[in-house]
């Protein structure tokens, strides 16, 4: 069965691009349906072709695509899938991007720079998206870039549930790797009932992915530190932050992040660091060569499936995180 109908009313149909079919299959299994059969292929010159093999007229369509490498190809494929749904008369189109591509380019830090995160939102709106769904956006302001509902999901419950069984909370401190993550870190600290610390850092604006750690602010000596972030790209920030924590007397450092981008040389840095465990979710695919002994991957699929069900049934996505109804 490739869809789920509400009696005489709505029909949920679930569509997946080619970037990460394993996650799509897992989400679909939690929904109790199959992804709708879709033809997706490349022409010889790299152009992408999409066609749905079942009628989508009047359906509530959910299109999932992970923005992994080659990131521009998979973003374009998702845009084309949305356009095909619009032209085939889908009633409502929800774009699910577990990792929002270009989210780091959310403002102009200097003159003559683009705001590419806004461009992304505009592209999906123009293609025909009625709603966006993403997990742990790099900054919450991105929700305002899209002219329509944005379901901003949080991986924190998934990560916290795993960590609660591993930590002695009496001797644990939640640490933000920079001032930009302090607000998220506060939510973690409140949930776990632990102190909060943060690391003041400076970036070299002319050299990508170069970080200088300045100082640790907060109680970390003799404690287990949980470093949290939305993504790990080259792991420069996280590894330098871990070094700074050990220098200030931390006994152990655990990293918890949502998106495992793991651009080179992230894996080597993490393997050779003093970090005892790196915990991530499966919002992005991880090839076998990017997996290592200290890595733990938790599934985000049940959370996405629950959010889809709430949207389809006109329920509350907020209730997944705050217990509201």
* Rounded-to-integer distance, Cα 215 and Cα 247, Å: 10
What element of type H or E holds 22?
A: helix 21-31
Helices (H) and strands (E) in the chain, counts: 9, 15
Active site residues: 201
Long-range (24+ apart) CB contacts under 8 A made by 136-144 are 136/230, 136/231, 136/258, 136/259, 137/100, 137/103, 137/230, 138/100, 138/103, 138/104, 138/106, 138/230, 138/231, 139/103, 139/106, 139/107, 139/180, 141/106, 141/107, 142/100, 142/103, 142/106, 142/117
Could you tell me if 227 and 238 are in contact, meaning their C-beta atoms sit under 8 angstroms apart?
yes
Pairing of strands 252-260, 224-232: parallel
* Rounded-to-integer distance, Cα 106 and Cα 102, Å: 8
């Amino acid at each position: 069965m490739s869809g789920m109908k509400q009696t005489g009313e709505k029909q949920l149909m679930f569509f997946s691009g080619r970037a990460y079919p394993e996650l799509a299959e897992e989400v679909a299994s939690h929904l109790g349906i199959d992804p709708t059969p879709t033809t997706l292929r490349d022409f010889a010159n790299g152009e992408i072709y999409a066609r749905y093999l079942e009628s989508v007229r009047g359906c509530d369509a959910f299109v999932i695509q992970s923005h992994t490498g080659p990131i521009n190809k998979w973003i374009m494929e998702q845009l084309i899938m949305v356009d095909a749904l619009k032209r085939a008369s889908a009633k409502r189109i929800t774009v699910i991007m577990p990792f929002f591509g270009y989210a780091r380019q959310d403002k102009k830090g200097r003159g003559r720079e683009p705001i590419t995160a806004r461009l992304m939102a505009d592209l999906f709106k123009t293609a025909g998206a009625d709603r966006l769904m993403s997990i742990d956006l790099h900054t919450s302001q991105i929700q305002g870039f899209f002219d329509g509902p944005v379901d901003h999901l949080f991986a924190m419950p998934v990560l916290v549930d795993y960590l609660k069984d591993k930590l002695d909370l009496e001797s644990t401190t939640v640490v933000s790797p920079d001032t930009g993550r302090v607000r998220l870190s506060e939510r973690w600290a409140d949930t776990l009932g632990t102190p909060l610390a943060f690391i003041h850092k400076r970036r070299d604006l002319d050299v990508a992915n170069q970080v200088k750690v300045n100082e640790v602010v907060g109680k970390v000596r003799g404690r287990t530190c949980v470093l949290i972030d939305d993504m790990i790209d080259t792991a420069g920030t996280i590894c330098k932050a871990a070094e700074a924590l050990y220098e200030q007397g931390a006994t152990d450092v655990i990293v918890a992040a949502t998106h495992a981008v793991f651009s080179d040389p992230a894996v080597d840095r993490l393997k050779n660091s003093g970090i005892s465990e790196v915990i991530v979710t499966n919002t992005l695919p991880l090839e076998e060569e990017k997996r290592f002994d200290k890595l733990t991957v938790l599934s985000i699929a049940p959370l996405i499936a629950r959010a889809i069900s709430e949207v389809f049934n006109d329920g509350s996505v907020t209730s997944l995180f705050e217990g509201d109804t």
